[in-house]
A and B are shown apart, each in its own frame.
Chain A
Amino acid sequence: MNLQIATLLGQDGLTNGAIYALLALSILLVFTVTRILLIPLGEFVTFGALTMAAIQMGKLPQLEWLLLGLTCIDCSLDLYQQARSRFNRRKLQGVALKLGYAATLVILVHTLPLAELPMGAQILLTLALIVPLGPIMYRLFFQPLADAPSLVLLIVSIAVHVSMVGTGLLLFGPEGARTKPFSDSGFHLGSVMLKSQTLWVILVSIFLIVTLFIAFERTLYGKALRATAVNRMGARLLGISPVFAGKVTFALAAFIGSASGILIAPITTLYYDSGFIISLKGFVGAIIGGLVSYPLAAIGSVAVGMVEAFSMFWASGYKEIIVFTLIIPFLIWRSMTSHHVEDDE
């Protein structure tokens, strides 16, 4: 291995590591606030990448129908609930707003010249299609089980993942897709070519991480979510709605997931079922952070990306195995240091 190869691998590792770090952060966010291990996060990644690819090819992404369909189910549940108590004007407006939003997107997707749109607009459209799926997913699948044991939440999470992979196949077909890079230029660093997309990924990731940090440290809503993460019952008593907290974290997760998908789509070819393994690597990072520590999880994720890139060079066939066995030393360490019997909820 010479310096040139090492830089190339390092570049790959850093790019992937940045994505894993983003995913690990949203996994932690969702887990601490709702106790849910969000296995379907990877599907937001593939949905993001494949929708973007479809838009760039001028094809209908089909995702708009999923959004409309799920919105309709969501709204009819809302209406049913209201019919049993009393109709509330604000809630009715909410239903109208949600339906209007989904319908507008369907019309937009079907009338706009998708392929000719500037890339910024394509990205916005993709995010607009996917992000609402997060809160809807929470509402339909997890909200009725908010008080269930965490084992049940995990099982439902897996079931949602399984369904979403199947839906991905139905919507996007079995072919893989790759999108155009954000910009074509490259940079020379000595004899090594730096791909501009690498810089995009790293910069956007850092930007998102910093923004999230500020949002959580400085805003009232951020503090409310953190309070929910620390003590759910206490937060509830202070008037922070767990449903609201759940929906917001799922929206954030859907946003981070699909943004990650859009970011890496120009670098790797993604298929409808690629998301799982990507999100699992985010989980490896989150486990290294002990499912609680954000900075540790971020560092762990970058390490995962690096190990992955370099094992590609030395033992490409065993790449995945090496990455997943990374968690073992951390599990051993945590087992050794935990004394007290934990009473699971």
Chain B
Amino acid sequence: MKQRYLIIIGLITLFLAPLVLPTFQITLLNYIGLYALVVLGLVLLTGVGGMTSFGQAAFVGLGAYATAYITTTEQLPEWLSWTAGSPWAGLLVGILLTAVVALFLGAVTLKLSGHYLPLGTIAWGISLYYLFGTMSSMGGHTGISGLPSLNIFGISLDKGEKIYYLIWAILMVAIWITSNLLNSREGRAIRALKGGQLMAESMGINTFRSKMVIFLISAIFAALSGWLYAHTQRFVNPTPFGLQMGIDYLFMALIGGAASVWGALLGAGVLTMLKQWLQDFLPLIMGGSGQYETIVLGLLIIFMMQRAPGGLWLILVKLTPVSWRNQHRIKVDTSAADLPRQALPKKGDLLLEARHVTRRFGGLVANNNMSLQLHAGEVLALIGPNGAGKSTMFNQLSAVDSPSDGEVLFLNQSLSNKTSRQVAQMGMSRTFQHVKLLPTMSALENVALGAHMRGKKGVLNALFHLERDEEQRLLKEAQYQLNRVGLGDHLHTEAGSLSLGQQRILEIARALCSDPCVLLLDEPAAGLRHKEKQALAGLLKKLRAEGLAILLVEHDMDFVMNLVDRIVVMEFGEKIAEGLPEEIQTNPAVLEAYLGGAE
């Protein structure tokens, strides 16, 4: 509740500021607002999504130049004549242009490893800067002047203290929709990008799409800022859109705290003021009139990355008393409707089958001619000594890897050309040997990630929170699954603060949340205490009775022998035995593999 009061006080201060402050301060505030809008996009991209771009300034330039060209050119080309020189048409064209460029840049870099987006945006930022400077229709290095001022409802925003309201109103709306997005199904998918993309894909999240969404949003925020800038200054030239400014925007995000939307505002404010002050102060001690503030800013960023990577916002949050801190609890509406469930296959149906699967890594044969079958309503254990090739087999079954020879069939479809995301959508869900959770997100949100595929509402709905109904249904499902696995007391606990055993159970709840018909569990009992193991065995028995097919890789023989229906034993990449638990316990080949030969 206290956060709400703070926001209201802040808004009133913002509203009153132009009435009391001198023009110079208002101009400064306008700049801070314009910068913060760009930095907000970077918070989404860098702080939340774990990617980065140095080309934001170029997107600002695109927005600014689009409107400058349309509103000042006397003889517009035929295909632009519909715009009639209106700034609003300029805004539309700027945003469309930006979206096209961002989609293209994203398409060529976002599938590659994380270094290509920053490098690509550096190249893009420099190219656009030179392009603006060279094209005579864009005024070359002198730029374009004489832009009209904006007009809203007959009020001309021709002075700094008038456009101030528009800038800050747009910024506040941007902050609002960004927070909305992050606090939604799509937002969870975006936040999952940092926790390893393999996990996100296994939950049916299209990580490429999520990355594209935030890159696009951040580019459009930048273009919007450029449009506002152009009509505030009523003059554009290439300088403020160069790579230097692109770097400054990133620095603002880092100084403010890239993980929070408020960090954007703080960073833009602090860096703008600091730069002002350094530009006044440094020439006094160093002489000359160079841009020495860059030395200080660069060192400051290095220091912050080494000592306080969370930025100033995180420091501020830590300074406030605990009772003030936002005890952000997501409310779950238990009256929400249940999510529809898929009908489970008939008991005994063949669901997953490996046929003569061989996987070679160079000369090493990790899996050799492995075959196994998994039916609905049974628990199958895959066991074997360390290095037997169980994990490789697990990867073949879950389509993370594809076999060199042979094939895996799931619901009678070959998995050879399927991705782990497609397999998840077909109804296979899994846990990971090394737990892959988002440690700073609550248990509830982590589990809700599993229900990603069961929601339909997209980004646009999320931005304006028009999907609350569906969101409640997803959260209710997550809560149900958490209760079911026995973590009902930990709905709002940060996943990272749970014990390892609880984290494993949490992964099972997340997998169940996707309403699967096949569950693949990688060492689910590791790190669990005796009671927890019993509870887990109880849960798995219940799931089996419901008709799920469960395959588990496990080392705990007590756990396996008392639970499973059938066992497949592997050694040196090959199947050495298959059968009922009692048969396996007396099988000489298995005894030799585990205990060594008799001689």
Binding site for B on A (CB under 8 A): 37, 141, 144-145, 148-152, 154-156, 158-167, 169-170, 174, 277, 280, 283-284, 287, 291, 317-318, 320-321, 324-325, 327-328, 331-332, 334-335, 338, 341-344
Contacts and interface: CB of A to CB of B under 8 A. Distances in A.
A341 B298 contact: no
30 contacts: A37-B115, A145-B306, A149-B50, A152-B309, A154-B52, A154-B118, A155-B52, A155-B254, A156-B302, A158-B247, A159-B297, A162-B298, A163-B297, A166-B291, A166-B292, A170-B292, A283-B122, A287-B119, A320-B126, A320-B127, A324-B124, A327-B123, A328-B108, A331-B112, A331-B116, A331-B120, A335-B109, A335-B111, A342-B112, A342-B197
Nearest to B131: A321
Contacts of B123: 280, 284, 324-325, 327
Contacts of B111: 335, 338
B247 A162 contact: yes
A155 to B, nearest CB: 6
Interface string B292-314: 11110111011001100100000
Nearest to B114: A344
Interface in B273-304: 286, 290-295, 297-299, 301-302
Interface in B118-164: 118-120, 122-124, 126-127, 130-131, 134
B198 interface: yes
Contacts of B127: 320-321, 324-325
Main secondary structure of the interface of B (DSSP, over half): helix
B294 A163 contact: yes
Contacts of A167: 295
A151 B52 CA distance: 8
A324 B120 CA distance: 9
B113 interface: yes
A32 B527 CA distance: 36
A239 B127 CA distance: 45
Contacts of A141: 302
Contact of B116 (A144, A148, A287, A318): A287
A180 B89 CA distance: 56
B550 interface: no
Question: Which of under 10, 10 to 19, 20 to 34, or 35 or more describes the interface residues of B?
Answer: 35 or more
B290 A166 contact: yes
A105 B155 CA distance: 67
B438 interface: no
Q: Chain A binding site: helix, strand, loop or mixed by DSSP?
A: helix
Nearest to B107: A335
B295 A338 contact: no
Given A165-B294, A343-B198, 4 more contacts: A37-B115, A154-B118, A162-B295, A318-B130
Nearest to A283: B119
A9 B457 CA distance: 57
B290 A152 contact: no
A317 B136 CA distance: 11
A325 B101 CA distance: 13
A156 B107 CA distance: 26
A317 B328 CA distance: 54
B54 interface: yes
Contact of B305 (A145, A287, A318, A328): A145
B218 interface: no
Contacts of A341: 197-198, 201, 207, 419-420
A321 B420 CA distance: 39
A166 B298 contact: yes
Given A158-B250, A160-B302, A170 B286 contact: yes
Nearest to A332: B108
Contacts of B109: 331, 335
B152 to A, nearest CB: 37
Contacts of A37: 115, 118-119
A145 B113 CA distance: 20
Given A151-B52, A335-B109, A166 B305 contact: no
B479 interface: no
B298 A291 contact: no
A317 B251 CA distance: 31
B70 to A, nearest CB: 23
